[in-house]
Structure 1
Amino acid sequence: MKKTWWLILVTFLCLLSSSKGRDLKAMDKVNLPKYNHTLATILVQYASAVYLSDLTALFTWTCSRCDGLTEGFEIIELVVDVEHCLQAFVGVADDPHAIIIAFRGTNEHSLQNWIEDLYWKQHEINYPGMDDAMVHRGFYNAYHNTTIRPAILDAVDRAKKFYGNIQIIVLGHSMGGAMAAFCGLDLTVNRCEKNVQVMTFGQPRIGNAVFASLYSTLVPNTLRVTHDHDIVPHLPPYYYYLPSKTYHHFPREVWLYNVGLGSLVYRVEKVCDGSGEDPTCSR
């Protein structure tokens, strides 16, 4: 009986390993950048730090979350829009050597943020080459129609003048991830930046099928990282019966979830790459 149990366990782990390999192999066929868990671990610390309310400690990078993997980070601009309860920062990191743009997600005490989150009406995005693309009006307005966008773009220009044409990494969690996605697209389409990477954490859906498809072409180095217990990536909801009104996630998503076997727990990284609505991923 004991031997049978171990045989089942070994067989299951082999299947799990081979399944993960197939997901990553599919990425190689189209020469898309792979998910880098080490980089994600660094970037999520920036996404966490931008939530802090001690602006002095944040600007001087002496806050409780401003050490370890992000030690030595130099803030170029700390952007705070009091009226709309939005916060972001732009700075330069040594590792990875890049301009980092981080957006704060929903402030649970901000009525304005909750209104932006729940304003699901779709809005036509006025970007060249994106005909028929529709986006979440609340998230779009949070980035485009506040003081956030001009301050971010100005800080990027100043950082590039001093550090040269280095990589730009845009990130954020929850609503901050939605704003990061719009920022990455803005930098690529309107500012003609060639080296932009976007990584979001627990990001909600922000556009229709046309938008999701065009986005992956215009900003190919984009990943939406989600977790199996997070409800936010499922919103706004996917309507089978309203294809023209529904929201889609990006075609490239990394879904982190745990498989437990007694006292053993394995983290699985499933890379979803295709239509943007893989039913085996976060949907």
Structure 2
Amino acid sequence: MLSSGLNGLLSDRSSLADPLVADLGLPAAAQDQQKGPLANPALHTVFSADSAIGRRAARTPLQRPEKSAGFDPLKAAKLAQLQSISYCAALDDVANWNCTRCAQLPDFEPYLVHFDASWDLLGYIGYWPSMGAKVIVFRGTDSSSWYNWAENMRAWRTDATYPVDGAPPALRLHSGFLILWNTSSMASTFHAAFGELLKLHPRGPTYVLGHSMGGALAHLAALDLQIMYGLQDVKVYTFGSPRVGNSVFSEFFSQKVSESWRFTHGRDIVPSVPPQLLGFRHVSREVWLVDVDDGPAGVQQRIVVCDDTGEDPSCHNAACRLGLCTSVADHLVYMGAHMYRGGEC
């Protein structure tokens, strides 16, 4: 059960003087992430023997200029499990909620699982009774192309406006993400499904989740749904998301959603693209997961809640040379949950 797994995940967390930094003891499966598919020994991660920069970053205490209330690592770990389920290949098992990963959250009620084969996009939506929440989850791109996809994003530019009333004239998005959301069947399908689910469960928050490219879709979906339905409580959790738009987009997003946590991990390649040099800016607030090798104790994970700028210079941006990270391995696991297709699904 997830509860026991989370107890293990949080077993080494003590009462902290600084609530913005927490230590998590990852389960063995998460510690073995560097052995997963796509693990490349040539990629420098915090697990690399020669990763001096990563190890210094992991062991150096990070001072925060302000406190951040409301971050709940236990809830974040549960949401990461919901995100992980989006990578299960047997869609019928997800739709019937009888996949192996589904057993970690037995009370979740799936409403719709949708796969757009033309664009290789997948997401699902459902109701979570124990949280009294509607939840939408977007999967990332095919894992076999993560590295090449991220490399291609280094040249992308903010070149599209957001086509909704009330959007600031200076708001810019990358047109590729907007096309994926609006031109595929994702926007129309999830707009309709959410409207139906909202009639069944009119109260309670809405959570929108996404990993990798799915994180970009989550940001756009959350905005669309907030504006379309006038939602008052939209919470966005993304894992390894790329930058989506410019600083005006980031500010507009912050005004519309009630809660936003953008997780990065070690030297994950995807959050470093597209680069800031081309006009992009991350949404806030970042939560950086830093792996620390404590010798006999194994790999421990430190959670760092970053500042509210979206581009904290002492978090993920500081982990890689010139802010350009290269680790695919760090992209595969978030909060102890596997973000790739695995046999255990």
TM-score interval, normalised by the smaller of the two chains: 0.7 to 0.9
Query: For residues 203 and 20 of structure 2, what CA distance do their matches in structure 1 show?
Result: 35
Partner of 1:171: helix, strand, or coil?
A: strand
Cα offset, 1:88, TM superposition: 0.6
Q: Determine whether 1:89 maps to 2:127.
A: no
CA 1:18–1:86: 2 relative to 1, 3 Å: closer
Alignment correspondent of 1:237: 275
DSSP 3-state at the match of 1:84: coil
- Cα deviation, 1:45-102, whole Å, max 9, x if unaligned, reads 111111122111111011121112x112211111111111111111111232211100
Q: How does 1:1-283 map to 2 (within 5 A)?
A: 17-18=17-18, 20=20, 23=64, 26-28=67-69, 34-68=70-104, 70-109=105-144, 114=149, 118=153, 120-122=156-158, 123-127=160-164, 128-239=166-277, 245-264=278-297, 266-283=300-317
Moved more, 192-201 or 272-281: 272-281
Compute the displacement of 1:114 (Å).
4.4
For the residue of structure 2 that corresponds to 1:274, the secondary structure is: coil
TM-score of the aligned structures, taking structure 2 as reference length: 0.68
Secondary structure of residue in 2 paired with 1:176:
helix
Deviation at 1:145, TM superposition (A): 1.7
Change (3 A) 1:66 1:42: same
What displacement does 1:202 show?
0.6
Distance 2:281 2:215 in 1: 15
Residue pair 2:157, 2:274 contacting (<8 A) in 1 also: no
Provide TM-score, normalisation by structure 1. Answer: 0.82
How many pairs are equivalent? Answer: 257
| Residue pair 2:161, 2:173 contacting (<8 A) in 1 also | yes
Structure 2: distance between partners of 1:274 and 1:40 = 18
Measure, in 2, the Cα distance between the counterparts of 1:51 and 1:262.
32
Task: State whether residues 35 and 254 of structure 1, in contact with CA within 8 Å, keep that contact through their aligned partners in structure 2.
Answer: no
Using a 3 Å threshold, how does the CA distance of structure 1 residues 203 and 156 change in structure 2: closer, same or farther? same
Alpha-carbon distance in structure 1 between the residues aligned to 2:193 and 2:134: 10
Identity %: 33
Q: 1:19 to 1:152 in 2, by over 3 A?
A: closer
> Which residue of the partner structure matches residue 8 of structure 1?
none
Structure 2: how far apart are the matches of 1:266 and 1:105? 26
Matched residues in 2 for 1:280 and 1:19: separation? Answer: 17
1:54 and 1:110 map into 2 onto residues whose CA distance is 20
The range that moved more, 252-261 or 147-156, is 252-261
> 1:252, 1:272 within 8 Å by CA — same for their partners in 2?
yes
Deviates more, 1:271-280 or 1:202-211: 271-280
Q: Secondary structure of the residue that 2:170 maps to in structure 1? A: coil
How far has the Cα of 1:143 moved from its partner?
1.3
CA RMSD of aligned residues (A): 2.6
Instruction: Note closer, same or farther for the CA distance 1:97–1:220 as it changes in structure 2 (3 Å cut).
Output: closer
Given that 1:23 and 1:270 are in contact with CA atoms closer than 8 Å, whether structure 2 keeps it comes out as no
For 2:17 and 2:270, how far apart are their aligned partners in 1?
28
Distance 1:274 1:157 in 2: 32
Q: Once the 2 structures are TM-superposed, how far is the Cα of residue 266 of structure 1 from its aligned partner?
A: 4.5
Deviations 1:23-58 (A, max 9, x none): 495225xxxxx2211111111111111112211111
Larger Cα Rg: Structure 1 or Structure 2?
1
- Report the secondary structure of 1:200's partner residue: strand
- Cα distance, 1:180 vs structure 2: 0.6
